[in-house]
Structure 1
Amino acid sequence: MKITAGRPRVGTAICWLAVAPGAGWALARLGGLDRGPLVQLLAFTPYAVLGSLVPLLLALALRRRWPAVVAAVTTATLIAVVAPRTLPSAQPAATGPTVRLLTANLLAGAADPATVVESVRTERVDVLVVQEFTPSVEAELDRLGLDRLLPYRQLNPVIGTPGSGLYSRHPISAGGIRTLRGGWGFTQAYATVAVPGAPEVRVESAHPSAPYALDQTGYWRDDLTAQPPATPHGPLSILAGDFNATLDHGPLRALLRTGYVDAAAAVGAGLTGTWGPYDGSLIPPVTIDHVLVDRRIAVRDLDVRALPGSDHRMLLAELRLPASPRADGGR
């Protein structure tokens, strides 16, 4: 009798032990508790959705009511925060010109420059922003013809990973280089791009520090907090690049709340991985590269593309800007 009576308690304990990690994960995600080791962990929240089904099925199979209830709430919560990235959202009625923007992390100059230039040429890219941009890759890009395709530029090539660059088909002004406070000293090139038929739009190549170790998470948070906010009642703004953060990180969501829209999520492609490594490693891809656009800009499409030699993938966004007042016939 004691053994028989003990079995239900053992089964219940096993269910609670299985349910607890997922429930804690959901609470951390909802509470914005991305501190310490949770910074890296929360990047994998989309995978936690699938993992949360295991304790739910276990509790149902063992007929443990309350563990099943908690497991069901956990799964529903995780689905609620992740699923919207797979659903296209309504776009503003922008009637101005179309701009095609490409962002690429060049892995300290190791990425294949021919792939970048060919993408610019065949996809009729108007604006290119690059991170981890080096003097050697700058020279190679121009040798391959980028200077003729995108003649306007604001560049800061640096040996290693801090470099940044912005190239444009259209004239630029008010350009500069932002130096972040993070441990890597990443820089961010920016400029105002004059697209015919649209208001001027400020574009910046984003590259906050990576939270690769516990002692770097403070720099990571500082760099994300230092990113330029959107100006929904002022000039148009686009912030694109390697953010080293996913939409499950609180600082990036806070940046979005200033008036940006994540372009990938806007077209239902918000779960496509942009950082591997894609070399057989067991680390699953996560979405840390983004194109953030002013909420007045319509996102027509976003494509994630391979970039040989880099551990990141490129993002190609097709955007439609609002029309300038004169183009709309206004005063």
Structure 2
Amino acid sequence: MKPRILLCALLLGAGAAAASASDRFDVAVTADDLPAHGTLPAGMTWAGIARSYVGTLHAHGVAEAWGLVNAKRIAEDPHSEAALDVWRQAGYPLGNHTYSHMGLSQAPSLEAWEADARAGEAVLEKHMAGKDWHVLRYPFLDAGGSGARHDGALDWLARRGYRIADVSLGFDDWAYTETYARCLAKGDDAAIEGMKASYYRRVDQQLVRTKAMSQRVYGRMIPQVLLTHMGAWSAATLPEVMKRMDAAGARYVTLDQAQSDAAYRTPSPRSGNGALMERRAQDAGVDLSGLPAVEPVGNLDALCR
């Protein structure tokens, strides 16, 4: 290569590296609904899904990923508990997602919700073997809105030593779970490929929107907490999702590292309710109109019927 051409190539490379560095942002990875999210497709096991999941995370340098557990699924399918063993053997921690995935505002009472959360603790004590498992994510991101029930739950959790796993980033992977199982059962590969193409477009669009929203709400790119789910669709698509996260500049950190940022410590009367940045925008009166759009999930219920 001629010296002048070589110099141009080096300069272009340096510019690309600088642009990439400026796009970097921290992400803590979390997975809800362990050990089993949705319908288990024929020929699969929950342990196998978990092995695929953690294999992808390890391949992308994710040192910590909290798995949030609904222990009721073990009572419904005792074989599913093997997925928790896989998760722990991978070096990842487990936390509480309540026993039965009970939303706080939908619970018969605050006391009933507390009992449901408490019922999930025995499984965590067993699998965490003396490690701290006191992380909770509200099912449906339903922390009871604001008011007495919300505040009562937060006080109860604090007294039991819990910290809340907030959410700032997600791709609606849960919405595809049952359709994917139906399409696999029917052998409709074309429908599955169409779902994947739409989903990956939405991943890219959501990453662009998230960056723009963070700048709008905070004036900077804050660390993100990614919400995923322990299901067959999520495991099958996670390798491509992680590639796209990497390309967008994701750098993987622990949940505590992400939530040590001031954005996660800003008081809110609805703390834990809904997604962090949207909640902060509402609290602060920040207008989110005009941000980059994410295409709708679409009518997945109509597929593979």
Task: Name which structure has the greater RCO, CA cutoff 8 Å, separation 6+.
Answer: 2
* Same structural fold, with TM-score higher than 0.5 when normalized by the shorter chain: no
Higher Rg: 1
* TM-score, scaled relative to structure 1: 0.28
* TM-score, scaled relative to structure 2: 0.29
